[in-house]
Chain A
Amino acid sequence: DAKTTQPTSMDCAEGRAANLPCNHSTISGNEYVYWYRQIHSQGPQYIIHGLKNNETNEMASLIITEDRKSSTLILPHATLRDTAVYYCIVVSGNYGQNFVFGPGTRLSVLP
């Protein structure tokens, strides 16, 4: 599975958009980009995933560059409850593939 690179930490003002980048320059054609987050003392929680098209759901938007070497997770109106560690993971589209988590980005939403 391709590796990912994320900033160690980021701050965002409450109510503003949080844009979390992820580099995955070695991604291959059948690999998806997944985003999870982990709030303190909880297990990771699925946010969104995509292959090559931009995706949006009730939690966030995922923007994937045309060459698929990087992506950005967007939380459109960050709240204090969005303070968490965000993980960007690249995984094959085949069923049962293992997730390889990096250290993620620690997002702090500030009042």
Chain B
Amino acid sequence: EAGVVQSPRYKIIEKKQPVAFWCNPISGHNTLYWYRQNLGQGPELLIRYENEEAVDDSQLPKDRFSAERLKGVDSTLKIQPAELGDSAVYLCASSPDWGLSSYNEQFFGPGTRLTVL
């Protein structure tokens, strides 16, 4: 079974530039998560999707961050413009429908390491 795919794996940009991250969840997983992980910290949830709907985006800095999940499969997270403090690893995760799994297991991708100079 293919895991969660993310690209790119690494990205280096200058501040004020835009950047986008792409995630392809495990086939059939309707719930998709974007996390940000700062160095030495655990992941922090940015947004959670149920199919196409963003059901929790309370931690997403909406002034510069945006996300979309068209057709309820792939998702893109965008930052525009990027700031120095946005340097972090951006993780995507997915989970199966509740009926297919009796517990809240999330499957994580390898992440995208963003460096803003």
Contacts and interface: CB of A to CB of B under 8 A. Distances in A.
Interface of A: 32, 34, 41-46, 49, 85, 87, 91, 93, 95-104
Instruction: Classify chain B: how many residues form its interface, as a range.
Output: 20 to 34
Given A44-B91, A44-B106, A45-B108, 18 more contacts: A42-B110, A43-B4, A43-B91, A44-B43, A46-B105, A46-B106, A85-B42, A87-B42, A93-B103, A95-B104, A96-B104, A97-B104, A98-B45, A98-B56, A99-B45, A102-B42, A103-B40, A103-B41
- Greatest chain B CB density within 10 A among A87, A96, A97, A104 is at A96
B68 interface: no
Contacts of A87: 42
A92 B42 CA distance: 19
A102 B104 CA distance: 17
B9 to A, nearest CB: 9
B42 A103 contact: yes
A103 B107 CA distance: 19
Contacts of B55: 96
B43 A101 contact: yes
B93 to A, nearest CB: 7
B50 interface: yes
A44 B108 CA distance: 6
Contact of A91 (B50, B56, B104): B104
B48 A96 contact: yes
A95 B41 contact: no
B41 to A, nearest CB: 6
Contact of B110 (A34, A43, A91): A43
Contacts of B107: 46
Given A99-B45, A103-B40, A43 B98 contact: no
